[in-house]
Amino acid sequence: MHYTEEGRINLAASNRHEYSLKDHLSNTRVCFTPNPSAPTSTDPKILQQTKTMPTAYP
């Protein structure tokens, strides 16, 4: 693995670029990669997505 500011390069998966989106607390919310079945498409392949619910309500 080679880590960058935007995500990482997975050397075990043919140098696949994996990008991550983080929230304001630097928690990773979505990990995605360009869609390998449609390389010219702008729709990414989502590898992992984290959804959270607030624990306390006002």
Give tens-digit pLDDT for 5-26: 888 888 887 888 888 888 888 8
Instruction: Find where tokens 């075990």 sit.
Output: 12
| pTM, two decimal places | 0.67
Q: How far apart are CA 30 and CA 49, in angstroms?
A: 5
Summarize the confidence of residues 22-41 as an average pLDDT. Answer: 82
Model confidence band, residue 57 (pLDDT cutoffs 50, 70, 90): low
Compute CA distances 12 → 37, 41, 57, whole Å: 18, 24, 43
What pLDDT score does 54 carry? Answer: 67
Higher pLDDT, 53 or 30: 30
pLDDT (0 to 100) of residue 7: 85
Is-contact 32 47, C-beta < 8 A? yes
